[in-house]
Amino acid sequence: MNRFEKIIDEYFDWDFFWMPQSSKTDKVEQKGRDFLANYPDLSKKIIVDLKSNFPDIKFSIFSPFPVEDRCICFEVNSSDQGIFVICISVFEYFLVWKLYDGDPYTAETYIESGASKLIDNIYQIAIKPNINAEWLSKDEAFLEVRKLNYAEGPYKEEEEDFDTPIYLANLLTRFR
């Protein structure tokens, strides 16, 4: 968790997730605006690279709002491998899930480097040349940030136990 502590401490607090307003909201939104300024045509560049290098696969922008969603997302629809959601976080991390029936954005559906040749190729050909985003491992993406969980906040003494884990993936992206 140490390498992510700076992001957690600088941009997030318990109120960010559980209260209407947090003092950190403006800072996170500024990070999204900075991302747009640093990568003004990133979505377009990635889609062009995807379509020109993978003509048999369907691609679409899933969530093109980095200020609001803390990421941009693409849907990759391969007739023989299924549907994937690729996210590029404003914190410059790359995360991928394969969509199945049921709860789609879990550790079980998370795709790591080496698990899909198609996604590995997309990462090398269309993502890396446009942004130096690090591909998070499943263990990193699903690190629980306990201090942000509901039961760790001011209501932890209440009798009701809230099962509301916040994972690192929840900090880096918000599209789900």
82, 101 Cβ separation under 8 angstroms: no
Looking at residue 1, its pLDDT comes to: 58
Q: Which residues of the chain have pLDDT under 50?
A: none
Helix, strand, coil percentages for the chain (3-state, nearest 5): 40, 20, 40
pLDDT at residue 17, as a whole number:
76
The predicted structure's pLDDT at residue 91: 95
**Whole-structure pTM value:** 0.88
26: closest CA among 55, 59, 67, 64? 67
* In contact, 166 and 148? CB cutoff 8 Å: yes
138: containing domain:
2-172
The tens digit of pLDDT for each residue in 99-112 reads: 886 667 888 899 99
Helix (H) or strand (E) holding 31: helix 25-38
State the total domains in the chain. Answer: 1
Please write the tens of the pLDDT for every residue from 45-66: 999 999 999 999 999 877 777 8
Q: Are 35 and 124 in contact (CB under 8 A)?
A: no
